[in-house]
């Protein structure tokens, strides 16, 4: 305390000039005394420094200066005592605080707070830590220092607008319906990484694209009503600004799609679907879905109808002949085709009208003026109590108020009484079958007329009718469905008589044609003694095209579906729209024919939608589409083999005869294209021929020229050759027909077994046959393969000598050493040049001599044997044997002129035998005929050989 008083008194005293000079002189000594001696004499650093209790500061990020309130100042009551009254340091408690405090003036205690490392607002917005002041202690060593109390410092980091706004999505999409004004279409959102509300908040959005009918705040909206027809979509660029007016670094794209006014209905389907033959099942609507415009539904029912009434007989069916189809379906044999294709043996249908536009499907059209009498030899004489009548029929309502009977089939008396024994006719859209039998008990009523009233009879569509008679029961099948008669009337039996009956198609015979039929018929057959089974009937009328569903296991459990028997109508029901959509994408078209009928098939889809508590709530427009069946690649059926067969008469007289078609081959090819690039020339250039396998339905062997005479010749096939195949055969004097739907290989096997016999061939020189084959009842036909069977009449057989294979006794081999030398020169060393010259000269002279000899032979014998000339040439070619041998064939003895002509004729005949039998006979026949030809040649001329030979 004394020290302090002395200092204060000195500071407060006013001194004169001399006193000042004195004090100036003694000041250093005073300082020493005050700061060096007095502190040692008195006790110092009694007080702790003092600072404020708390501080609040602000620092701008990325800066180091902190603005504190209040300023950082420390006071010490020990002042002005050196060290004890001075402030030496400010210390911050907290290792994670990026700040430091620095003393600016030790005496006044002023300090400053600053950042020791960069401060980022985005990482930490505020800091709180403790600060204390420290004095300098009792002396220069800093001993006995004292620290102030703890003061709390709160630092707030001020933000800098260093980041631009960023949109949360790179692309925004929305759709609106035309004709509406929307308050909100979609919401775009951007964000900012800055930490302060001023810079981190987005204050404004703007549309960059000019001239758009849209406005934006935070939600986009349209400023005018849009039209789908005018523009279907818009592409808009949008930007954002934060509250510091910093613009987004990248603008964002907004796609807005304009939809037409929602109309309930099916969408995503094509009006035309192309079907490539042979591709199996093809989906019709792979991307179709039902638009319901958001209304809640309780059920959907869709009906898909395939309309094929214009194709063939109601749909694409096999167009084989009726006999072939029955054989294919396993029907019992014995049926009679009453409407066959016109031919010389079935000429009663030649005058009837045919429908030629049905792709080889044989259809007869009756206009009320045509009918045909079936010949007696064709009509079954005894129908028995069991028989079947079957036919395809297309019929419409009869004209006029009072319709007349229209007879399909009628068996009546040829003369006198005009009684009807049995008939099938249409009357007032009712089908009636009349059957009046001869019975011993004439006083007993029997069922006679059976009536059916069906819509199919007059709907102008094709249907397959089968009447199974098991008297007294009669059953009608229409398209495979059974119908019992609604009315059966009884009548007296017919009295037995000797009057002949007449079976008529298209009308009834009563001395003249009456009750004409108006409509179309096809495949009218009658089979006595048996009735058709349900399985055969279904097979005969089955469609080869229809609707199908792929992947049934993938359908939802609530989906229900069912087909009609012909699979031309499909009904799909479900409660959920998504399940219905999935089911409809599985609907497919299938055509199992290898060569389907090309053209359009119409599709019609009707849909019914049910809502909760209502029967119907939405009207779904019907769909009309088409399936285009593309034309199949037409096969080219080719029959190949030997066109001429020469056989001795003895072979024709044999028990088996000859097999004219033993080396027959049947192939079929189509043109396939590997087009690419959509260029027509590429498609044409890429066409290639490919062999295909398919069935045939008949092959006919016709006799060309005079018909066969049953008294001396036959053309037949044994029944065993048809076993295990779907084939049958009929023959007549005009040829043989093999029919049935079977493979080309089976037809080959059967045709090779066809035998021609002639047990009186003395006056026969040749027989000509023509073979043609067909697929699909003549839709595709083969080439006409003509074959000539020539009969060989000759004298006693002679031996055939092959002079090239057997060496003559007049030809002796002469070995020449030059040949041995030339062949073995590689073993004995190189030949000298002189020897080589000799060899060349000898060979040249030899060639000249041989040429002269051949010329002399040719000049002397212009009509010499061709085979002998070949032998000479072959002998000339033998010069390169192991030794040089020269043998000259002498001249033949000249024959008389008539013998030469006979030799030429028989050489041609023998040549024909050889060429034919090389392909059509076995080895024994070849050897026998060869020996006979050789003997003939020996008889015609003998060779005279000169015993001399030329040797070099």
Over residues 923-950, mean pLDDT: 41
pLDDT value for 700: 94
Per-position b or e across 775-814, b if 16+ CB within 10 A of its CB: bbbbbbebeebebbbbbbebeebbebbebeeeeeeeeeee
CA dihedral (477, 482, 483, 484) in degrees, to 10, reads: 110
Does domain 351-541 correspond to CATH entry 3.20.20.140?
Answer: no
* Rounded distance between C-alpha atoms, residue 12 and residue 31, angstroms: 17
pLDDT of 786 reads: 95
Q: Helix or strand or coil: residue 280?
A: coil
Q: Is the pLDDT score of 918 beyond 50?
A: no
Is the predicted pLDDT of residue 441 greater than 60, yes or no?
Answer: no
Task: Give the pLDDT confidence score for residue 474 in this predicted structure.
Answer: 93
The SS3 of residue 625 is: strand
What are 392's strand-pairing partners? 464, 522
| Helix (H) or strand (E) segment spanning residue 220 | strand 220-222
Whether the CA torsion 265, 270, 276, 277 is positive or negative: it is positive
Residues 359-396 pLDDT 10s? 567 889 999 888 999 998 898 877 878 899 999 999 99
pLDDT at position 823: 32
Report the pLDDT averaged over residues 345-349.
Answer: 87
Q: What is the CA radius of gyration of the chain?
A: 59
790: three-class secondary structure by DSSP: strand
Contact 254, 167 (CB under 8 A): no
Q: Which residues contact 322 (CB under 8 A, 6 or more apart)?
A: 335, 337, 340, 523, 525
CA dihedral for 556, 561, 567, 569, sign (positive or negative): negative
pLDDT reported for residue 380? 85
Determine which of 20-29, 522-531, 810-819 has the lowest per-residue pLDDT on average.
Answer: 810-819
Percent of the residues in the chain that have a pLDDT greater than 90, as a whole number: 32
Beta strands 513-514 and 518-528, pairing class: unpaired
pLDDT in tens, 284-303: 999 999 988 877 788 899 99
**Of 506-515, 574-583, 882-891, the least confident:** 882-891
- Residue 356 confidence (pLDDT): 60
Confidence of residue 29 (pLDDT cuts 50, 70, 90): low
Q: What is the pLDDT of residue 357?
A: 52
Task: Give the model's pLDDT for residue 299.
Answer: 87
User: In the predicted model, what is the mean pLDDT of residues 676-702?
Assistant: 69
Name the strand (E) or helix (H) holding 869: helix 866-876
Evaluate if residue 829 carries a pLDDT over 50: no
For the cut 60, the answer to whether the pLDDT of residue 178 exceeds it is yes
First to last CA, the chain: 167
* Measured distance CA(80)–CA(135) in Å, rounded: 12
Where along the chain do the CATH 2.60.40.680 domains lie?
A: 265-311+543-629
- The 3-state DSSP class for residue 707 equals coil
pTM of the complete model = 0.56
Contact predicate 571/485, CB 8 Å:
no
Task: Compare 477 and 309 and report the one with higher pLDDT.
Answer: 477
User: Which CATH superfamily is 54-158 part of?
Assistant: Cadherins (2.60.40.60)
∠ at Cα 212 (211, 218), nearest 5°? 125
- Fold classified for 636-793: Immunoglobulin-like (2.60.40)
Quickly list H helices, 612-692. Answer: 649-653, 680-685
Q: Which residue has the higher pLDDT, 469 or 936?
A: 469
pLDDT tens column, 309-336:
888 788 888 888 777 888 888 888 788 8
pLDDT at 801 (0 to 100): 37
Q: How far is CA 752 from CA 511, 701, 727, 791, 917, in A?
A: 49, 12, 14, 19, 16
The encoded tokens of residue 384 equal 């028995």
Residue 45: pLDDT band (50, 70, 90) is confident
pLDDT > 80? residue 683? no
pLDDT digits (tens, 9 = 90+) for 198-208: 888 888 888 99
Answer yes or no: is pLDDT of 144 > 50: yes
pLDDT value for 28: 63
Q: Is the pLDDT of residue 951 over 70?
A: no
Tokens of 100: 């430091």
DSSP letter (8 states) at residue 761: G
Q: Do you know the residue count of the chain?
A: 952
- On the question of pLDDT at 671 being above 90, the answer is no
pLDDT given for residue 630 in this prediction:
93
Question: What is the mean predicted confidence (pLDDT) over 100-115?
Answer: 90
Domain 166-259: top CATH class: mainly beta
The yes-or-no verdict on residue 866 having pLDDT over 70 is no
If you search the block for the tokens 């076995």, which residue do you land on?
A: 922
In terms of Cβ atoms closer than 10 Å to its own Cβ (0-12, 13-18, 19+), residue 138 is buried
**pLDDT for position 923:** 41
Q: What is the pLDDT of residue 795?
A: 46
Q: Per-residue pLDDT averaged across 665-672, rounded?
A: 90
pLDDT band for position 196 (cuts 50, 70, 90): confident
pLDDT for the residue numbered 503: 92
Q: What average pLDDT does this structure show over 427-450?
A: 80
Listed residue (208, 206, 226, 235) closest to 218, CA to CA: 206
Ranges assigned E (strand) in 395-440 = 406-413, 420-427, 430-435
Give phi and psi for 420, each to the nearest 5.
-100, 120
Question: pLDDT tens digit string along 541-559?
Answer: 888 999 998 877 777 788 8
Give the highest mean pLDDT range of 348-357, 821-830, 845-854.
348-357
pLDDT in tens, 216-226: 876 767 788 88
Structure confidence at residue 70 (pLDDT):
92
Which of 515 and 6 is assigned the larger pLDDT? Answer: 515
Q: Which pLDDT band, with edges at 50, 70 and 90, does 614 fall under?
A: low
Fold (CATH) for 265-311+543-629: Immunoglobulin-like (2.60.40)
In the predicted structure, residue 17 carries a pLDDT above the cut 60 = no
CA distance 708 to 857: 51
Mean pLDDT, range 414-425, rounded to an integer: 85
With b meaning 16 or more CB within 10 Å and e meaning fewer, what string describes 342-364?
A: eeeebebbeebebeeebbbbbbb
pLDDT at 134 over 50: yes
pLDDT score recorded for residue 821? 33
Tell me what the mean pLDDT of segment 604-623 comes to: 83
Ranges of CATH 2.60.40.60 domains, the chain: 54-158, 166-259
Cα separation, 727 vs 741, whole angstroms = 7
Are the C-beta atoms of residues 258 and 231 closer than 8 Å to each other? yes
Question: How far is Cα 428 from Cα 399, in angstroms, rounded to an integer?
Answer: 10
Q: Which residues contact 497 (CB under 8 A, 6 or more apart)?
A: 413, 417
Say if residue 797's pLDDT is above 80. no
Tell which residue, 211, 210, 192, has the closest CA to residue 202: 192
Q: What is the b/e burial string over 14-47, where b = at least 16 CB atoms within 10 angstroms of the residue's CB? A: eeeeeeeeeeeeeeeeeeeebeeebbeeeebbee
Q: What is the pLDDT of residue 854?
A: 67
Look at 699 and 856; give whichever has higher pLDDT. Answer: 699
SS3 labels along 886-900 = CCCCCCCCCCCHHHH
């Amino acid at each position: 305390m004394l020290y302090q008083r002395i200092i204060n008194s000195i500071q407060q005293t006013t001194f004169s000039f001399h006193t000042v000079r004195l004090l100036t002189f003694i000041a250093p000594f005073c300082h020493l005394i005050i700061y060096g001696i007095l502190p040692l004499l008195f006790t110092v650093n009694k007080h702790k420094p003092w600072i404020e209790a708390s501080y609040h500061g602000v620092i701008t990020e990325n800066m180091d200066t902190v603005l504190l309130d209040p300023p950082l100042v420390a006071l010490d009551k020990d002042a002005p005592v050196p060290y004890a009254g001075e402030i030496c340091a400010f210390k911050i408690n907290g290792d994670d605080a990026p700040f430091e405090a620095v003393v600016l003036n030790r005496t006044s205690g002023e300090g400053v707070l600053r950042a020791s490392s960069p401060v980022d607002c985005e990482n930490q917005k505020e800091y709180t830590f403790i600060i204390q002041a420290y004095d300098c202690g009792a002396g220069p060593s800093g001993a006995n220092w004292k620290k102030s109390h703890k003061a709390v410092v709160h630092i707030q980091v001020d933000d800098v607008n260093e980041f631009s706004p960023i949109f949360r999505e790179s692309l925004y999409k929305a759709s609106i319906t035309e004709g509406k004004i929307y308050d909100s279409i979609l919401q775009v959102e951007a964000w900012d990484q800055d930490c302060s509300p001023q810079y981190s908040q987005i204050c404004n959005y703007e549309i960059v694209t000019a001239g758009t009918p849209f406005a934006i705040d935070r939600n986009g909206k349209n400023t005018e009503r849009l039209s789908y027809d005018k523009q279907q979509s818009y592409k808009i660029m949008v930007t954002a600004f934060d509250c510091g007016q910093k613009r987004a670094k990248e603008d964002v794209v907004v796609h807005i799609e304009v939809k037409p006014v929602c109309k309930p209905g099916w969408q995503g389907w094509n009006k035309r679907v192309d079907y490539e033959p042979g591709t199996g099942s093809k989906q019709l609507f792979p991307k179709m879905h039902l638009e319901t415009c958001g209304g809640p539904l309780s059920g959907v029912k869709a009906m898909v109808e395939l309309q094929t009434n214009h194709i063939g007989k109601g749909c694409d069916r096999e167009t084989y002949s009726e006999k072939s189809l029955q054989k294919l379906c396993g029907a019992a044999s014995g049926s009679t085709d009453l409407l066959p294709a016109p031919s010389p043996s079935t000429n009663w249908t030649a005058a009837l009208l045919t429908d030629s536009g049905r792709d080889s499907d044989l259809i007869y059209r009756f206009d009320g003026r045509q009918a045909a009498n079936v010949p007696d030899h064709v009509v079954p004489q005894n129908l028995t109590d069991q028989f079947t009548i079957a036919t395809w029929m297309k019929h419409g309502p009869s004209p006029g108020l009072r319709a007349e009977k229209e007879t399909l089939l009628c068996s009546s008396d040829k003369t006198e009484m005009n009684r009807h024994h049995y008939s099938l006719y249409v009357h007032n859209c009712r089908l009636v079958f009349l059957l009046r039998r001869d019975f011993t008990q004439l006083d007993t009523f029997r069922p006679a007329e059976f009536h059916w009233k069906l819509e199919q009879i007059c709907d102008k569509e094709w249907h397959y009718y089968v009447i199974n008679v098991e008297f007294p029961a009669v059953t009608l099948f229409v398209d495979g469905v059974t119908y019992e008669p609604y009315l059966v009337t009884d009548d007296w039996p017919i009295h037995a008589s000797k009057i002949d009956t007449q079976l008529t198609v298209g009308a009834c015979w009563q001395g003249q044609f009456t009750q004409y039929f108006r409509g179309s018929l096809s495949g009218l057959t009658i089979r006595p003694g048996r009735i058709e089974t349900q399985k055969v009937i279904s097979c005969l009328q089955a469609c080869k095209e229809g609707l199908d569903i792929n992947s049934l296991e993938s359908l939802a459990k609530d989906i229900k579906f069912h087909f009609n028997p012909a699979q031309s109508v499909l009904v799909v029901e479900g409660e959920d729209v998504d399940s219905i959509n999935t089911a409809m994408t599985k609907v497919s078209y299938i055509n199992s024919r290898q060569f389907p009928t090309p053209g359009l098939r119409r599709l019609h889809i009707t849909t019914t939608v049910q809502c909760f508590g209502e029967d119907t709530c939405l009207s779904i427009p019907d769909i009309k589409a088409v399936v285009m069946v593309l034309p199949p690649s037409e096969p080219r059926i080719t029959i190949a083999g030997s066109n001429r067969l020469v056989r001795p008469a003895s072979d024709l007289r044999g028990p088996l005869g000859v097999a004219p078609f033993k080396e027959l081959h049947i192939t079929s090819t189509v043109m396939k294209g590997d087009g690419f690039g959509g260029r027509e020339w590429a498609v044409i250039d890429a066409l290639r021929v490919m062999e295909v396998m398919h069935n045939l339905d008949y092959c006919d062997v016709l006799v060309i020229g005079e018909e066969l005479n049953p008294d001396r010749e036959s053309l037949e096939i044994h029944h065993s050759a048809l076993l295990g195949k779907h084939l049958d055969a009929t023959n007549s004097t005009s040829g043989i027909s093999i029919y049935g739907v079977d493979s080309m290989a089976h037809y080959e096997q059967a045709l090779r077994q066809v035998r021609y016999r002639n047990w009186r061939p003395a006056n026969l020189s040749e027989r000509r046959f023509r073979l043609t084959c067909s697929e699909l009842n003549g839709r595709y036909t083969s080439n006409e393969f003509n074959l000539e069977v020539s009969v060989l009449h000759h004298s006693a057989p002679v031996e055939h000598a092959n002079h090239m294979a057997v060496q003559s006794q007049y030809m002796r081999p002469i070995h020449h050493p030059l040949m041995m030398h030339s062949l073995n020169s590689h073993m004995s060393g190189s030949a000298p040049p002189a020897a080589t010259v000799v060899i060349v000269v000898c060979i040249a002279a030899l060639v000249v001599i041989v040429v002269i000899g051949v010329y002399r032979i040719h000049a002397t014998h212009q009509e010499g044997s061709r085979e002998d000339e070949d032998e000479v040439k072959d002998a000339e070619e033998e010069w390169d044997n192991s030794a040089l041998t020269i043998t000259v064939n002498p001249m033949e003895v000249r024959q008389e002129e008539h013998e030469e002509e006979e030799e030429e004729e028989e050489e041609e005949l023998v040549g024909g035998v050889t060429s034919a039998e090389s392909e059509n006979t076995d080895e024994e026949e070849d050897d026998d005929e060869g020996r006979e030809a050789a003997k003939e040649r020996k008889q015609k001329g003998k060779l005279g050989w000169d015993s001399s030979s030329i040797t070099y």
